[in-house]
């Protein structure tokens, strides 16, 4: 490349930083025009999700086949994405999942993928990442749910620097491909990034609510004594269960 070409490249960088010093006014206007055109082109590119996007690197930085990943802003990033609502018309959901739900032996269902009821938002089927960077195939038998209005939701709720990401590939409902063409840096067609609801904490927004959580929903407006929990009275992780510990040991109340 000639010295002139190198000078032009440096000038464009200077314009973008607001530090333009040129050899002539005409040259300056030309470079400013080029820089403006470049900036306009960059702004016209589709915006990718912050946490979730299509990547070709796994948690260890290794090159892999493109997949939908929550590593878009690093392992500490959190957020949720979901598909459009659709009518379930197949008896099986298949997908491949990888990643981690916290450090080994401390899984808390804070990173998860679920088939959710469109009306209630409750998780009808759910899966946590397998604790490995390798893709693991999962099949859900959903024959009893055929005809229900549903959507798929992927959540990264682990804001920690390690063991805090997950990824998806080959998501299919029956024979229908739900991910479609994967373009690096973008979300797949039909998937949207969820904004955090106003007045709701990140923990509440991103926590998994299984179908059994309907008990808690019936208690809206009452003290938060009962709820589905994944830690016991000694703060140890355990499978989700209905407990009266949500308001602490001294909480009182009833569900029905």
Q: Low-confidence residues of the chain, pLDDT below 70?
A: 1-49, 107, 212-241, 245-256
Q: What is the model's pLDDT at position 172? A: 96
The SS3 of residue 82 is strand
Same-domain check for residues 83 and 99:
yes
Pairing mode, strands 111-117 and 79-83: unpaired
Q: What is the model's pLDDT at position 19? A: 41
Same-domain check for residues 106 and 190:
yes
Domain housing 230: 210-256
Give the CA radius of gyration of the chain. 24
Same-domain check for residues 28 and 76:
no
Same-domain check for residues 62 and 128:
yes
Burial state string for 101-139 with b = 16 or more CB within 10 A and e = fewer than 16: bbeeeebbbbbbbbbbbeeeebbbbbbbbbbebebeebe
Full-model pTM: 0.62
Local structure of residue 210 (DSSP, 8 states): B
Same-domain check for residues 159 and 240:
no
Q: What is the model's pLDDT at position 249? A: 57
Number of domains in the chain: 3
Same-domain check for residues 125 and 160:
yes
Q: What is the model's pLDDT at position 22? A: 42
Which of 207, 223, 242 terminates a domain? The answer is 207
Same-domain check for residues 188 and 68:
yes
Render pLDDT for 66-125 as a digit per residue (tens, 0 to 9): 999 998 888 788 899 999 999 999 999 999 999 998 887 776 778 999 999 999 889 999
Same-domain check for residues 198 and 225:
no
φ, ψ for residue 34, nearest 5 deg: -65, -40
Q: What is the model's pLDDT at position 33? A: 59
CA 96/CA 98 separation, integer angstroms? 7
Same-domain check for residues 200 and 218:
no
Q: At what angle do helices 25-44 and 3-16 cross, to 10 degrees?
A: 60
Same-domain check for residues 40 and 119:
no
φ, ψ for residue 152, nearest 5 deg: -100, 140
Structure tokens at 13: 């960088």
Same-domain check for residues 83 and 105:
yes
End-to-end CA distance of the chain: give it in Å, rounded.
76
Same-domain check for residues 203 and 217:
no
CA 24/CA 62 separation, integer angstroms? 47
Give how far Cα 41 sits from Cα of 44, 138, 217, Å.
5, 41, 47
φ, ψ for residue 252, nearest 5 deg: -130, 160
Q: Cβ-count burial of 242 within 10 angstroms (0-12 exposed, 13-18 middle, 19+ buried)?
A: middle
Q: What is the model's pLDDT at position 6? A: 44
CA 254/CA 48 separation, integer angstroms? 45
From the CB of residue 59, how many other CB atoms can be counted at a distance below 10 Å? 20
């Amino acid at each position: 490349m000639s010295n002139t070409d190198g000078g032009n490249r440096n000038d464009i960088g200077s314009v973008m930083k607001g530090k333009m010093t040129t050899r002539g006014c005409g040259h300056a206007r030309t470079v400013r025009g080029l820089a403006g055109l470049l900036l306009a082109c960059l702004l016209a590119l589709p915006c990718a999700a912050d946490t979730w996007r299509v990547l070709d690197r796994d948690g260890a930085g290794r090159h892999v086949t493109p997949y939908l990943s929550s590593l878009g802003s690093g392992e500490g990033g959190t957020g949720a994405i979901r598909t459009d609502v659709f009518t379930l018309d197949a008896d099986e959901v298949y997908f491949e999942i990888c990643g981690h739900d916290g450090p080994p032996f401390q899984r808390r269902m804070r990173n998860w993928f679920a088939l959710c009821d469109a009306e209630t938002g409750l998780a009808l089927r759910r899966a946590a990442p397998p604790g490995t960077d390798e893709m693991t195939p999962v099949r859900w038998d959903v024959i009893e749910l055929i005809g229900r209005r549903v959507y798929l939701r992927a959540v990264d709720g682990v804001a920690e620097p390690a063991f805090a990401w997950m990824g998806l590939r080959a998501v299919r409902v029956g024979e229908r491909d739900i991910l479609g063409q994967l373009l690096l840096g973008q979300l797949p067609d039909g998937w949207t990034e969820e904004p955090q609801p106003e007045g709701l904490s990140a923990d509440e927004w991103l926590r998994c609510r299984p179908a059994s959580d309907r008990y808690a929903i019936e208690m809206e407006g009452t003290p938060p004594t009962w709820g589905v929990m994944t830690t016991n009275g000694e703060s140890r992780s355990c499978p989700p269960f209905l407990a009266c510990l949500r308001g602490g040991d001294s909480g009182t109340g009833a569900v029905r």
